[in-house]
Chains A and B, each alone.
Chain A
Amino acid sequence: MDPIRQRLLKKSRQAKLEKRGRLIGLLCISLIVLVVVAIFYFVASRGLATFYHDKVNLWDFLTKQVWNPGTKDSHGVPAVGALPMIVGSFLVTIFAALVATPFAIGAAIFMTEISPRRGMRILKPVTELLVGIPSVVYGFIGLTVVVPVIRRLFGGTGFGILAGTCVLFVMILPTVTSMSVDALKAVPRYYRDASAALGATRWQTIYKVVLRAAMPGLLTAIVFGMARAFGEALAVQMVIGNAALMPHNLVSPAATLTSVLTLGIGNTIMGSLENNALWSLALILLLMSLVFNLVIRWIGRKGAVKS
């Protein structure tokens, strides 16, 4: 056999290297997939035990308002009504997103359209700095600054949905802002040029063209921020008061799914009803983050079709 033919038939060094690289990549990916599946399986098996093993009605779990897993009501059914926590979680999330969105989009417009150079030099590092602050610091500031201020302004104890909203607003602001910036930057330059050529002012261009074109990206940014707010535990737990009661107003103590979870998990025994009920809350959290993910994907796909 002539040497050239032999060399061509033999696997080259590069080909071997590529094969090895692919194998390593595949291993890493499958490990991650395995971990995700394992987490889902574990949380689901524990969380569903409340309904199968302890015979709690799913509908009762989602709609009853008394959360006291250690005790039973007059019918001998454990008092596990998760509605106050579910409502609390959604309220802080929605309010935080409502407050954060105008600020975030305003900052993003300033950074991309109005004053890109100054915006990028000052605002961007500042928002990036906010991302790096640990959540316990936010919680502590909330506890020592926000709560007393709310107490003085509105009475009550100061703990509640409003304090949680304030803390979460600052926490999700940088996420939403930087993603909005990316969304606005992705709008092609010729859109703006065309708009200007039609005689539109800068404000008209921003309002009618840039924001409209970036809408899917902006929505993704908001949903992303909401997902973060929904899952945040520590900072919220420090300022919301952790009372498993339906919130009457924004300054009455409430609870979120995460705050009840972090409070209770160390004090319960694996396999007991108290513990299973907490896992059920974790399952709700997991499903909600799944929903947020799906919404983001759905928005992305819809946006992609439009442009």
Chain B
Amino acid sequence: MKKPFLLIAMLIASIVGLTACQNVSKQGESITIVGSSALQPLVEAAGEQYSNNHLGKFVNVQGGGSGTGLSQIQEGAVAIGNSDVYAEEKSGIKAKELVDHRVAVVGITPVLNKKIGVRNLTMAQLKAIFTGEVTNWRELGGPDLPIVIINRAQGSGSRLTFEKWVLKGAQAKQAQEQESTGMVRQIVATTPGAISYMAFSYVDKTVASVKVNGVKPTDQNVTTNRWPIWSYEHMYTKGQPKGLTKQFLAYVYSSAVQDKVLPKLGYIPVAKMQVTRSLDGHVRAITP
């Protein structure tokens, strides 16, 4: 009969313990950042460095996807919401309330299963593949293999970027969807005739990237927009950032992150870009 009381005592103890923990972290300062999984590694690395350099200041970073990032920041539940896409591009987001901080650029490249052997595709061919007009690699100078499209999930940042610049509004063919880039890479590597797309930093020896219109997918080509499939990585705040949020964003923009952390993780610093691109896709050269 003593057990219920023991249980309650434990419950109370744990609640007290939890609130105590909260108090500890409140003595320091902490912010929470949620969203895009493509941006997560960068923000995590930056947050860790920042906490190491500034005692008592904590940056909690969580994934969850661009949609989660935008909806959480809109509700004001977090300090910063990460997104691969402009807030204006997501339905249900009041973009006017949010302030955009573009912290990096990510290039996205089509990847093929290695055995296909196709090394060059035109943008029109790429579009034909993903809209389902072309269904066999033979038609594109490859072996007689059916084309297997692997998509990312609907609403994923990489997919939105890829479809925006490759399909240009055309309806994509319904195809397999996978949750994460790692999964996509594994499937493309092992499935004959598979094609998908991923950020430059994820491409490794197991898959083959292709030239599009004769342009190689390199950081250099992204900075000049010769490689058009790229997107900004956004960190959104609700209203102008204040306090720790502001300090952390300043840190992300500092050379400690932009010049040292970004290239290591495969992102392109915004400062390296020789062009800017607006929401509606208008590209303008930056004159130094």
Interface residue ranges, A against B (CB under 8 Å)? 17, 20-21, 24, 66-71, 143, 148, 151, 157-159, 237-238, 241-245, 253, 255, 262-264, 266-275
Q: B70 contacts A21, CB within 8 Å?
A: no
**A267-B66, A269-B71 known; A143+B4 contact, CB < 8 A:** no
**A159-B176, A241-B176, A264-B154 known; A269+B70 contact, CB < 8 A:** yes
Residues of A within 8 A of B225 (CB): none
Contact with A along B73-97 (1 / 0, CB 8 A): 0110000000000000011110000
Q: B153 contacts A267, CB within 8 Å?
A: yes
Q: A267 contacts B67, CB within 8 Å?
A: yes
Asked if B43 CB lies within 8 Å of chain A CBs, one says no
Cα–Cα, bound, A21→B4 (Å): 8
Residues of B within 8 A of A242 (CB): 153, 176-178
Enumerate B180-199 residues with CB–CB distance to A below 8 Å. Answer: 183, 186-187, 190-192, 194
Contact with A along B135-153 (1 / 0, CB 8 A): 0000000000000100001
Residues of A within 8 A of B65 (CB): 266-267
Q: B67 contacts A266, CB within 8 Å?
A: yes
Contact with A along B149-171 (1 / 0, CB 8 A): 00001111000000000000001
Cα–Cα, bound, A264→B152 (Å): 10
| A99 shortest CB reach to chain B, Å | 24
Asked if B55 CB lies within 8 Å of chain A CBs, one says no
Residues of B within 8 A of A20 (CB): 4
Name the CB-closest residue of A to B175: A243
Contact with A along B21-65 (1 / 0, CB 8 A): 000000000000000000000000000000000000000000111
Q: B155 contacts A245, CB within 8 Å?
A: no
Q: B154 contacts A266, CB within 8 Å?
A: no
Interface residue ranges, B against A (CB under 8 Å)? 1, 4, 8, 63-68, 70-71, 74-75, 90-93, 148, 153-156, 171, 174-179, 183, 186-187, 190-192, 194
Cα–Cα, bound, A272→B94 (Å): 12
Residues of A within 8 A of B194 (CB): 157
Beyond the given pairs A143-B186, A266-B63, A267-B154, 19 more chain A to chain B contacts, judged by CB atoms under 8 angstroms and listed by A's residue number, are A21-B1, A68-B171, A68-B174, A157-B191, A157-B194, A159-B176, A242-B177, A243-B174, A243-B176, A244-B174, A253-B175, A263-B178, A263-B179, A264-B154, A266-B64, A267-B153, A267-B155, A268-B155, A274-B154
Cα–Cα, bound, A158→B150 (Å): 13
Cα–Cα, bound, A243→B132 (Å): 14
Residues of B within 8 A of A266 (CB): 63-65, 67-68
Cα–Cα, bound, A238→B186 (Å): 11
Cα–Cα, bound, A67→B154 (Å): 10
Q: Is the interface of A mostly helix, strand, loop or mixed?
A: mixed
Residues of A within 8 A of B175 (CB): 243, 253
Residues of A within 8 A of B63 (CB): 266
Q: B92 contacts A272, CB within 8 Å?
A: yes
**A68-B174, A143-B186, A157-B194 known; A270+B71 contact, CB < 8 A:** yes
Residues of B within 8 A of A271 (CB): 92
Residues of B within 8 A of A66 (CB): 174
Cα–Cα, bound, A17→B3 (Å): 12
| B200 shortest CB reach to chain A, Å | 21
Name the CB-closest residue of A to B174: A245
Residues of A within 8 A of B190 (CB): 148
Cα–Cα, bound, A270→B90 (Å): 11
Contact of A269 among B91, B154, B183, B187 (CB under 8 A): B91
Residues of B within 8 A of A275 (CB): 67, 92
| B80 shortest CB reach to chain A, Å | 17
Cα–Cα, bound, A142→B254 (Å): 45
The listed residue with most B CB atoms (<10 A of its CB), out of A71, A268, A273, is: A268
Q: B176 contacts A157, CB within 8 Å?
A: yes
The listed residue with most A CB atoms (<10 A of its CB), out of B75, B178, B183, is: B178
| B31 shortest CB reach to chain A, Å | 21
Residues of A within 8 A of B71 (CB): 269-270
Q: A17 contacts B1, CB within 8 Å?
A: yes
Name the CB-closest residue of B to A242: B177
Q: B70 contacts A70, CB within 8 Å?
A: no
Q: A68 contacts B93, CB within 8 Å?
A: no
Residues of B within 8 A of A68 (CB): 154, 171, 174
Residues of B within 8 A of A71 (CB): 171
Cα–Cα, bound, A148→B186 (Å): 12
Name the CB-closest residue of A to B74: A269
Contact of B91 among A21, A253, A273 (CB under 8 A): A273
Cα–Cα, bound, A262→B156 (Å): 13
Contact of B177 among A143, A263, A272 (CB under 8 A): A263
Cα–Cα, bound, A68→B172 (Å): 10
> Can you name 24 A-B pairs with beta carbons within 8 Å?
A17-B1, A66-B174, A68-B171, A69-B154, A70-B154, A70-B155, A71-B171, A157-B194, A159-B187, A243-B175, A243-B176, A253-B176, A263-B153, A263-B177, A264-B154, A266-B65, A267-B65, A267-B66, A267-B153, A267-B155, A269-B71, A270-B71, A271-B92, A275-B92
Residues of A within 8 A of B176 (CB): 157, 159, 241-243, 253
| B260 shortest CB reach to chain A, Å | 30
Residues of B within 8 A of A270 (CB): 71, 75, 92
